[in-house]
A = this chain, B = another copy of it.
Amino acid sequence: MDVRELAADYAALLAAGKMEEAARKYWAEDVVTREAMPGEWGETRGRAAAVEKGEWWVGNHEVHAIRTEGPFVNGDSFLIIMELDVTPHGGERTQMREIVGYKVADDRVVEERYFY
């Protein structure tokens, strides 16, 4: 599968709010996720930890809107610009703008990096 094709499908799923479907369909067993900041979820290793992180995030944020742009592709990697209008539980509503980077190997996402 061409990286550009995978990237387009992945981006379409995110744009439709289908994060879990994108993860189920494309994450490798040994996927690594890296936030820009250290902390409890600063880095996860393996699909189970990445899914747990995703569930924690969904359970602790109210998402008002998601807007994505992309994918932007180079070689084995692609980027998606993501804008989130979100209220963390117990926190203030904020607009976040970040870029998520994905690295692909054997038709699977092996790394996810958050740039901000």
Contact pick for A115, options B34, B35, B78, CB 8 Å: B78
Roughly how many angstroms separate A99 CA and B74 CA in the complex, as a whole number?
Answer: 10
Roughly how many angstroms separate A115 CA and B11 CA in the complex, as a whole number?
Answer: 15
Contact pick for A77, options B72, B75, B115, CB 8 Å: B115
Copies in the complex: 2
Roughly how many angstroms separate A36 CA and B113 CA in the complex, as a whole number?
Answer: 19
Instruction: Give every chain B residue within 8 A of A36 (Cβ-Cβ).
Output: 73-75
Give the dominant DSSP class at A's interface.
Answer: strand
Roughly how many angstroms separate A4 CA and B115 CA in the complex, as a whole number?
Answer: 11
Instruction: Give every chain B residue within 8 A of A75 (Cβ-Cβ).
Output: 34, 36, 113
Residue of B nearest to A115 (CB): B72
